[in-house]
Chains A and B, each alone.
Chain A
Amino acid sequence: MVKISDLKVGDIIRNEFDGITRELLRRYAKVSGDTNPIHTNDAIAEKAGLKGVIAHGLFSFGFISKLFEDFLSGERDGKIIEIDIEMRAFVRCGDLLITEATVSKIEGKRVYFDVKQTTITKVDIKDKDGNIIKQFEAGERGYITQKDIDRGLVKTKEVEEGILTYRERVATPGHAIIELFE
């Protein structure tokens, strides 16, 4: 059971999800009622200038509420009071979605968090000579822009098969408040 005395400013809770697929977005569209085809149909998304389907704006939000539901053992240890987010960047199929909440303030039984969701978008893997040996959807569909490069969001790291190029950016910054029972 999580108690107020267990927490301090700077503590971080997080989850990761790497299962964003077209099938999942189709399921989400059906249950949410948000059937805008830019989320489920690549041809329509391309016509809208999006280069491919994008996740629904509120789709990623569910991973923030799940983070707090898990932290509070399904609200058995406290209540979620508020979650407030900005939607700054698209989330796409194949992205690794990292949801992180950092305790920013504690007042009585209330705990305030800074929240951010970061996407890791794999582009390609190159060998030592710079030849592409594996390309991901972002590479094939050209999701990475010059602006991403100029902003320093595109990075590389060594992986088993070679050098991975990926983009790391904050898609959803925000805040949350929970209230613990003890």
Chain B
Amino acid sequence: MDDEEIKKNAEFLIQNLANKEVPGHANVSVRYKNLVEFAKIYGITDPKYIGPEEDGIVACHAFANYFTVKALYKLLIGMKLIQDGKERPVVLNPGKLLHAGNKYNWEGCVDVKPGDKLKITAKWGKVWLIEETMVLFAELLVTVKNQNDELVCKPTVTVAVRPGGY
């Protein structure tokens, strides 16, 4: 891919992604075992996060990584656009995709518990190009709700795509 095509693709994505909804959603079923394994990775010993299932444990905050990754794989990598009459994925080469930043906001959120069925939706925020390096940056504003339509987390993921990846 030459520089002209890279720049053209960047302009296309800036125009067609910024502030747009990501179609579809991702579902996550929360399993007790997964919550406990996640906490144990970080050496968490608090029974609130790793106790017996019948004691009513909740997810540690790092578990937000789990549904963020789901959002990235399903919503970002799965999204398609029409450019010059042809369908194309947002990211042409996932190998060029970098995770540049991450914000988790839990204001007004409820805990994640075993058995929860989470629904993940997303929209694009800012999309911008650093011309010096031709790295394209984009914010993905994610909303995660449980089966009762209660908010459990609002992640904002900043992705960077190196030239050739978009």
Contacts and interface: CB of A to CB of B under 8 A. Distances in A.
A82 B106 contact: yes
Contacts of B42: 62-63, 65-66
A81 interface: yes
B70 interface: yes
B41 A24 contact: yes
Contact of A87 (B43, B69, B99): B99
20 contacts: A19-B43, A27-B37, A28-B41, A32-B38, A32-B66, A33-B70, A58-B102, A66-B42, A66-B43, A69-B60, A74-B49, A76-B48, A81-B105, A81-B107, A82-B103, A82-B105, A84-B104, A87-B99, A87-B100, A87-B102
Nearest to B38: A31
B65 A61 contact: yes
Interface in A103-160: none
Interface residues of B, number: 33
A161 interface: no
A79 to B, nearest CB: 7
Interface of B: 34, 37-38, 41-44, 46, 48-49, 60-62, 64-66, 68-70, 73, 95, 98-107, 156, 158
A170 interface: no
Contacts of B107: 81-82
A69 B44 contact: yes
Contact of A85 (B37, B41, B49, B101): B101
Interface of A: 17, 19, 24, 27-28, 30-34, 48, 56-59, 61-63, 65-66, 68-69, 74-76, 79-87
Contacts of A86: 100-101, 158
A80 B106 contact: yes
Nearest to B101: A86
A75 B42 CA distance: 16
Given A63-B42, A69-B60, A34 B102 contact: no
B62 A65 contact: yes
Contacts of A58: 65, 68-69, 99, 102
The 8 residue pairs across chains A and B that have the minimum distance between CB atoms:
A62-B62, A65-B61, A57-B99, A84-B103, A58-B65, A74-B46, A74-B48, A31-B37
A66 B44 contact: yes
